[in-house]
Amino acid sequence: MNKTFIALIGFSAATFAQDPRRIIEEVQRRSRSQSQRYEGTLEVIGAANRIATKRWTFERIGSFGDSKAILRFTAPAEVKGVALLIVNHPDRASDQWMWRPSIGRDQRIALQDRSTRFFGTDFSFEDLEERDVEQYNFKLLGDENGQWKIESRPRKASQYAYSYLWVKKDNYTMVKVEAYNKNGLVRAIDYRDFELASGIWTARTIDVNDLARKSRTILKYDKLEYNLPLKEDGFTLQALRRSS
């Protein structure tokens, strides 16, 4: 094989590894699916170490950053049926509506309210949406223990001024996120217990720490499935209003 061609291959690979945007694009590419469904358990641990446990189902359809998702609580009884519809857009923040059976109507989540907690968890409404790489500026900060550390700054409106992302070099999985506002570190997210499901490395445990509230939420996936034959009409306001 031509030595010049070999050298160009090596140069291209090295360039890819040092381009933070390309790294995040590869993270998204490797986690891509046309649909996804899982059941999850949420443990919300408050400042006094009180634990509240919730269960939900999550369904998603579409390409990354241009998808639709419905998240629905199934237990305990006081939250059963509460649901959130998320319509993600590649060029702007998502549209979101929450359904509350107790009042029998849906509520659109205003953009200025996206930093608030989602129904008593340590996820904010913004944390639950997908944003394509084009909505951020990236900077590679270095290598740490076989992981790239990347700074991410949103181009669109966000509660966060910037975030630090840690990506494993061997399989391009996101393993940690630290999100900052103008006052400092706000939220830390750890991804653990990775499993290869339908060819996609997936964290079965997500641990979210809210530094201001001194609380954390641990999400664990059950019955995870990818590329199911889900239908578009399952991701509408009419579908949101249906009981679980």
Spans of all domains in the chain? 3-241
Contacts by residues 191-199 (CB-CB < 8 Å, ≥ 24 positions apart): 195/224, 197/224, 197/225, 197/226, 198/33, 198/225, 198/226, 198/227
Give the residue among 128, 83, 117 at the shortest CA–CA distance from 102: 83
pLDDT band at 206 (very low <50, low <70, confident <90, very high): very high
CATH of region 3-241: 2.50.20.10
Task: Say which residues have a Cβ less than 8 Å from residue 78's Cβ, sequence separation at least 6.
Answer: none
pTM score of the predicted model: 0.87
CA dist 2 and 39 (Å) reads 52
Assess whether pLDDT exceeds 90 at residue 18.
no
User: Is the per-residue pLDDT at 7 higher than 70?
Assistant: no
**pLDDT tens digits, 109-143:** 998 999 998 888 999 999 999 888 989 999 999 99
pLDDT over 70 (residue 13): no
- What is the end-to-end Cα distance of the chain in Å, rounded? 60
Task: Read off the pLDDT band of 17 (50, 70, 90).
Answer: low
Closest CA relative to residue 59, chosen from 242, 198, 200, 234 = 234
Q: What is the DSSP letter of 124?
A: B
The predicted-structure confidence for 48-90, as pLDDT tens digits, reads as follows 778 899 999 999 999 888 999 999 999 999 999 999 999 999 8
Return d(Cα 68, Cα 64) in angstroms, integer. Answer: 9
Distance CA 204, CA 60 (A): 17
The pLDDT assigned to 44 comes to 93
- The pLDDT confidence band at residue 5, using thresholds 50, 70 and 90, is very low
Note the pLDDT of residue 147.
Answer: 97
Name, in order, each residue with C-beta under 8 angstroms of 99's C-beta and a sequence gap of 6 or more: 81, 82, 83, 84, 85, 105, 106, 107, 240, 241
Q: Using CA atoms, how far apart are residues 173 and 161, in angstroms rounded to an integer?
A: 23
Q: Is 159 helix (H, G, I), strand (E, B) or coil?
A: coil
Percentage of residues in the chain having pLDDT higher than 70: 92
**Residue 199 has which token pair?**
């060819």
pLDDT of 197 over the 90 cut: yes
Kindly report the backbone phi and psi dihedral angles of residue 56, in degrees, each rounded to the nearest multiple of 5, phi listed first. Answer: -145, 165
User: Can you give the pLDDT at residue 1?
Assistant: 54
Mean pLDDT of the chain: 90
Percent of the chain residues topping a pLDDT of 90: 73
- Whole-number pLDDT of residue 212: 87
pLDDT exceeds cutoff 60 at 232: yes
